[in-house]
Amino acid sequence: MTPVRTWRIAPFALIIVTGLLAGCGDKPKTPEASAEAGPADYERGPHNGRLLRDGDFSLEVTIYEEGPEPLFRLYPYLKNKPLDPRQVQVAVALTRLGPKIDRFTFTPEADYLASPGVVFEPHSFDVSITATRGGARSVWSYQSYEGRTVIKAEAAQAGGVKTERAGSAVLGESLPLTGRVEITPEGQSEVFARYPGRVVSLNAALGQRVTRGQVLARVESSESLQTYSITAPISGVILTKSVNVGTIAGTTPMLTIGDPMRLHGEFFLYPKDAERVQVGQQVEVVSQAGSHRAFGTIEAILPSADPISQTLVAHVELPYQGGVWRPGLGVQALVQVGTGNVPLAVRTKALQPFRDFTVVYAKVGDTYEVRMLELGRRTDEWTEVLGGLEPGTEYVSEGAFLIRADIEKSGASHDH
């Protein structure tokens, strides 16, 4: 026989202990919380479901979860022996938190009654069942809760729980980039000898700061034997030095000067990302340690790709900021590659794991309950919701860990 998942009501002891609230500011010594309690256990039928009795007649309630969607399967018995399901008419109503009522009608199939209606998650509701057999009517009701807890407003506030309404949001999609800090081309200059000759004096050392027009060296021309001066074409710091006194200066640079205040970030764009990055997009640049940040825009994307790495290079101007950005150091960046309005979204920090789902906790009065979500695009701030949550639902946007801990402490399971 095909296995089924069965009904179970876990005994919820949904009380937030003082220690759980200890890290959330000033807390009451005895936080108020209450429990939605059901019977500790119940009689089970041959299919491991909840067995409901009314005299000689009984009905076993199961949820079949081996197919694509969870569906009810009800097994009728008379004097503990299987009863032809065609002799029984059953209606089930599930009252959910809100309230919202899901109603199910059944038709006979094999040895059970089946309903085409899907039992949507969460499987948390007050159950009402009416069965009619040969003019006799049986009625049962009970609670079956999962992922639910009740916390008084004072305790929730003391624990840092905050809520907001689910609605539309603007999602800014970002793309991470890696790169390095470099002096801009306009901030660098190579120093050459105008005429080949011997260096007779040199007033330049690596790392030395110089000003435009400052005499850096004197060279004796090999042709005229006349001595002339070499001056700094720009103000900055000497980055490279390839000559000393007595060296013959020729067609190669004697010195390289760079202005450390004229900086940009060079970021590498791989082919899959290059089409999404454009000049003018906003960029947040972050140092490797994460202690320094700067904001700018994509000012240029070089047209040629590196033949080996197949990467393009994007330039982002950087402020000097007192020298925190040093040429050659690696940096990271997030570039905003697009924004769009979505009809329904929740705070990304509100998302929590529950069984195999990602959920938020809906709030109705002092009651909190999971909502299993179908998710779309995600940013650090917002996550698009494609299903599982009604627009306008009040949900926990901060302090969701507190609700999660209280529900997990209750020992709730998904055993119907």
pLDDT of residue 327: 92
Render pLDDT for 183-211 as a digit per residue (tens, 0 to 9). Answer: 999 999 999 999 999 999 999 999 999 99
Q: What's the DSSP call for residue 305?
A: P
Percentage of the residues of the chain whose pLDDT score is greater than 70: 89
pLDDT band at 5 (very low <50, low <70, confident <90, very high): very low
Band the pLDDT of 378: cuts 50, 70, 90.
confident
Q: Give the range among 12-16, 249-253, 304-308, 319-323 with minimum mean pLDDT.
A: 12-16
Q: Where in the chain is the domain with CATH 2.40.50.100?
A: 186-258
Q: What value does the mean pLDDT of the chain take?
A: 88
d(CA 203, CA 192): 15
The torsion angles phi and psi of 398, rounded to 5 degrees, stand at -140, 145
- The DSSP code for 406 is H
Contact 222, 195 (CB under 8 A): yes
Query: pLDDT category, 379, cuts 50, 70, 90?
Result: confident
**Higher-confidence position of 19 and 307:** 307
- Phi-psi map region of 121: left, alpha, beta (phi>0 left; psi -120 to 50 alpha): beta
Sign of the torsion angle spanned by Cα atoms 73, 78, 83, 88:
negative
d(CA 401, CA 157): 14
Q: Please report the pLDDT score of residue 415 as a whole number.
A: 55
Exposed/middle/buried for residue 252 (C-beta within 10 Å: 0-12, 13-18, 19+):
exposed
Span 97-110, mean pLDDT?
94
For the record, the structure tokens of 209 come out as: 């700061």
What is the model's pLDDT at position 170? 87
Q: Where in the chain is the domain with CATH 2.40.30.170?
A: 176-182+261-282+289-328
Cα–Cα distance for residue pair 203/296, rounded to 1 Å:
38
Q: Where in the chain is the domain with CATH 2.60.40.3340?
A: 42-145
Tally of residues, the chain: 416
In contact, 49 and 4? CB cutoff 8 Å: yes
Reply yes or no on whether the pLDDT at 11 is more than 90: no
- The Cα–Cα gap between 162 and 395 comes to 8
Contacts of 340 (CB under 8 A, 6+ apart): 170, 171, 173
Q: Give per-residue pLDDT as tens, 144-198.
A: 999 999 999 999 999 999 999 999 998 887 889 999 999 999 999 999 999 999 9
Task: Please give the class, per CATH, of domain 176-182+261-282+289-328.
Answer: mainly beta
Residues 277 and 298: beta-carbon distance below 8 Å: yes
pLDDT band at residue 120 using 50, 70 and 90 as cut-offs: very high
With cut-offs at 50, 70 and 90, classify the pLDDT of residue 340. Answer: confident
Instruction: Determine the Cα–Cα distance for residues 70 and 7; give it in Å rounded to an integer.
Output: 12
Query: CB neighbours (10 Å) of residue 40?
Result: 8
Check residue 19 and give its pLDDT: 36
pLDDT at 18 over 90: no
Q: Which of the four CATH numbers 1.10.357.20, 2.40.50.100, 1.20.140.10, 3.30.460.10 does domain 186-258 have?
A: 2.40.50.100
Could you tell me if 301 and 337 are in contact, meaning their C-beta atoms sit under 8 angstroms apart?
A: no
Please state, in angstroms and rounded to a whole number, the distance separating the CA atoms of residues 199 and 249.
7
In the CATH scheme, what architecture does the domain 153-174+340-397 have? Beta Barrel (2.40)
Average pLDDT over residues 376-388: 91
pLDDT at 355 over 70: yes
Q: How confident is the model at residue 112 (pLDDT cuts 50, 70, 90)?
A: very high
What's the CATH number for 42-145? 2.60.40.3340
